[in-house]
Structure 1
Amino acid sequence: MYNTQKPDLADLPTDSRLLRSTAIAVGLAATLLVTVVLPAEYAVDPTGIGRLLGLTEMGTVKMAIAREADQEAAAKATPAASAPVMTAQVAPSRAAAAVPAPVQAIAPAEQAPAAKAEEMTLTLAPGQGVEIKAKMRKGASVTYVWVTDGPKLNFDTHGDGTGISYHGYGKGSESRSEGVLTAAFDGSHGWFWRNRAGKPVTVTLKVTGDFDGLKRLV
C-alpha cells in the first residue's frame, strides 16, 4: 500500500481562475471558427480575414465541388429533365440563338471597352477537378468557348466577390460550351470542370473581352 499526499489547497486553481480559463478557451474557439473554419469550409467570411489568408477562396472551391457532386447525382436520377435546363443557361442551342437575348445578359464583344484574348489548355486526370477564373468588373463581358478532346466534363460556371461566396451562371455536362459571360458584380468569374470520364481529358478555354487575365485556382 502506498501513502498518497493530499494536495495543498493553495495549489488548486480557484473558481475565478477556472472561469477565466474557460472563457479564454471559448473565445479562442469562437475566433478560430469565424476566421478560419467558416471561410475555409463554407466560404463564409464575416471578418474579411479569411479572404486575406486565401481561405475564403478555398471554401468557395469546396462549395463548388459539393454543388457539382449534388448536380451529378441529380443528373443521374433525372437525366432527361435536368440536361436541357443546364445547357440552356450557358451554352444556347441553335434554336435558342434565333431568339434575341436581353442586353444585360449578352453584349456584343465589339462593345467591350478593353478587349483582350487569352487561351489556356489543361489536362484533367480521372476524377480531377480544375477551376479557371478571371477578374472582371460589374457589367464587363467576355466571349468564351471551351472544348475537350472528346469526352464530356461536368462544369459549373460561376463567380464570387466581396460578400458573395457563389453566384451561378450555369452548369451541366458537355464536351463543348460557348457563349457570353457578363459579370453580375465586381469579382472573379469563370469555370470549374470535373473529369468523370474514367480517363484523362484535355480541355482548352479561349476567352475574349473585358477581363483582367485568366488564373488557375485549383
Structure 2
Amino acid sequence: MFNTKLPTLNELPTSRQLLRSTVTALGVAAALLVAVVMPSEYAVDPTGVGRVLGLTQMGELKETLAQEAAADAAAQPVAIPAVQAPALAQSAPQEQAVAAIAVETVAEPAPVLKSDELTVTLKPGEASEIKLEMLDKATVSYEWTTNGVPVNHDTHGEPYNGPNGYFHSYSKGQQVKGDKGEFTAIFDGTHGWFWRNRSNSDVTITLKTQGEYLSVKRVI
C-alpha cells in the first residue's frame, strides 16, 4: 500500500504536450544520428560537425580496419593436409659396414726416428749452439765428445713464441769433455746444446743425435 498522492487531472500533461515532447525527442535523436552516430560509425558526415568533433576520422579508421581485415581473410591460404613420406628402407648390414669404414679416421703415422752427426770447432773464448726442432713429448738420445779439451755446456729448450729470455735447462756442466743421455721435450720448440771454449786451445766437438725431431741446425 503506497502513500503517494495521485496527481490530479489538471497536473497530467495534455495530448499537445505529449506530442510536442515526442517530436522534440525524435528531433534530438535524428540530430544525434546525423551529427554523431553516422560520422563515428560509417564515416558519413553530411553536416560537417562530425569532422569538427573528430568523429568522422574515427569512422574512417574503422572502415579502413574493416577493409584490411577482409583483405587478410581473403589472402589466407587453404590448408592442405600433409602427406607423410614413406620411411626409407634400412640399409643392408653390408652397406652399413662399408659406410662405417669410409668415415673411420685414419690414424696418424708414428714419428720417424732421425739420426745425425755434426762437428763444430771452437777457438779460445768462442761459443756454439746446435738446436733440434721438437714437438711436445718427443724424445731424443744424444752423445757429444770433445777432442780432449774441456768445455762448458748447457742443454736446454726454448718454446715457440715463448716469453723473451725464457728457457728450460735439461743439464749443464763446466770443464767437461763430453756428455750423453736422453731428454723428452716439455713443449713445442727448439731444444739443444750450448758450448763455450774457456781454454787456450782450439776444441772440436762431435755431436750424435737420434730421436723424434723435425730438423737439426747450428744456431751459433
TM-score band w.r.t. shorter chain: 0.3 to 0.5
Greater fraction helix = 1
TM-score by length of 2: 0.47
TM-score by length of 1: 0.48
* Bigger radius of gyration among the two: 2
